[in-house]
């Protein structure tokens, strides 16, 4: 098997290639060509953490694997990532492990990529202003993904900590060397989303991150952070105003995302308003934006099909490029 680190993975697959892999993954999932159980979560209360186990098999590309991702918020106190993860890819012919790779970077890449896929399919093609709410470990990939599919001229950043928002904006200015637009921070979420064509939220918030009544007509929203029944980034107002609502996986979102579970329990939202899975749009089974004033929403809680398809793509390119450290157990 080979071991791949973050830098090798970055060299193997670009963000635009990852967006295409995400599209392929959702197509395969919605087509019924994968076996993806809902993830298993285990509370580790003594350490204020959660461990998530995400296995699956994708028949058409004959790939199997499991991602183990943990959420340990206190890790920053000891200089470790708050969301450490590892991806194990199996040779589906033999069951032998073919690769172990950095699951933290894989999560960042595929989560950004699936938002990029939704943005490409649902946002206005003339979108110029992106609003980003949340500046954690997955935020940069969200920006990179949107930039890979739209000609953005301004990025507005908001975080509950203004210092963290400023630090993140400075990092973007330094690392996005090809971006010629303006990157600035906002004091409030209302200021951040004002005039935004694309709004991306990437938080673990327990309460809605912005006022849905302030979203301009024609905007597209990627809700990428919340993934538990008691967390939410979207309020009922934006769900009511949205013309099109798409999900990465119907079962996953309706069983895990408080964005929908809470308003449904309060009789403030009906699942009948959901257009379907993004894979259905990729397969041309449902409709996309029909006019410039429609508000569109994409909600993702993550799914192992994204990890497996993306990991397989990285593995194959890395092998062709003679990257990775080969080990034998």
Q: Which residues are marked as active site?
A: 67
Q: DSSP 3-state assignment of 223? A: strand
Question: What Å distances lie between residue 164 and 81, 132, 186, 223, 285, CA to CA?
Answer: 16, 13, 12, 20, 42
Name residues whose C-beta falls within 8 Å of residue 7's C-beta, 6 or more positions apart in sequence.
Answer: none
CB 157 within 8 A of CB 190: no
Rg (CA), the chain: 19
Question: What Å distances lie between residue 289 and 50, 153, 244, 297, 300, CA to CA?
Answer: 38, 22, 7, 11, 19
List, in sequence order, the alpha helices (H) in 194-297.
236-241, 250-256, 258-265, 278-282
Q: What is the DSSP letter of 116?
A: H
Computed from CA positions of residues 233, 277, 110, 200, in that sequence, does the dihedral angle turn out positive or negative?
negative
Do the strands 296-299 and 244-247 form a parallel or antiparallel pair, or are they unpaired?
A: parallel
């Amino acid at each position: 098997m080979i071991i791949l680190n973050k830098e090798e993975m970055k060299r193997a697959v670009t963000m635009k290639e990852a967006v295409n892999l995400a599209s392929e993954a959702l197509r395969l999932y919605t087509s019924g060509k994968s076996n993806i159980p809902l993830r298993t979560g285990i509370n580790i209360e003594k350490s204020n953490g959660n461990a998530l186990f995400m296995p699956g098999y994708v028949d058409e590309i004959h790939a199997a694997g499991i991602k183990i991702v943990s959420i340990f918020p206190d890790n920053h106190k000891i200089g470790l990532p708050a969301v450490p993860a590892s991806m194990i890819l199996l040779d589906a012919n033999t069951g032998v492990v073919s690769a172990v790779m950095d699951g933290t970077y894989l999560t960042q890449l595929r989560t950004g990529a699936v938002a990029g896929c939704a943005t490409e399919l649902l946002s206005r093609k003339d979108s110029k202003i992106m609003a980003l709410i949340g500046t954690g470990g997955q935020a940069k990939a969200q920006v990179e993904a949107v930039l890979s599919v739209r000609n953005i001229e301004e990025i507005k950043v908001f975080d509950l900590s203004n210092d963290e928002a400023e630090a993140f904006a400075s990092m973007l200015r330094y690392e996005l060397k090809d971006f010629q637009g303006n990157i600035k921070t906002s004091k409030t979420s209302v200021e951040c989303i004002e005039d935004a064509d694309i709004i991306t939220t990437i938080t673990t918030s327990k309460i809605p991150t912005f006022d849905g009544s302030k979203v301009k007509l024609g905007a597209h929203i990627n809700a990428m952070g919340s993934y538990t029944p008691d967390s939410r980034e979207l309020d009922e107002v934006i769900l009511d105003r949205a013309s099109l609502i798409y999900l990465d996986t119907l079962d996953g979102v309706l069983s895990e995302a408080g964005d929908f579970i809470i308003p449904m329990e309060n009789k403030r939202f009906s699942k009948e308003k959901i257009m379907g899975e993004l894979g259905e749009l990729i397969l041309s089974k449902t409709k996309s934006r029909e006019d410039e004033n429609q508000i569109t929403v994409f909600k993702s809680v993550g799914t192992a099909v994204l990890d497996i398809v993306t990991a397989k793509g990285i593995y194959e390119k890395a092998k062709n490029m003679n990257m990775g450290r080969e080990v034998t157990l």
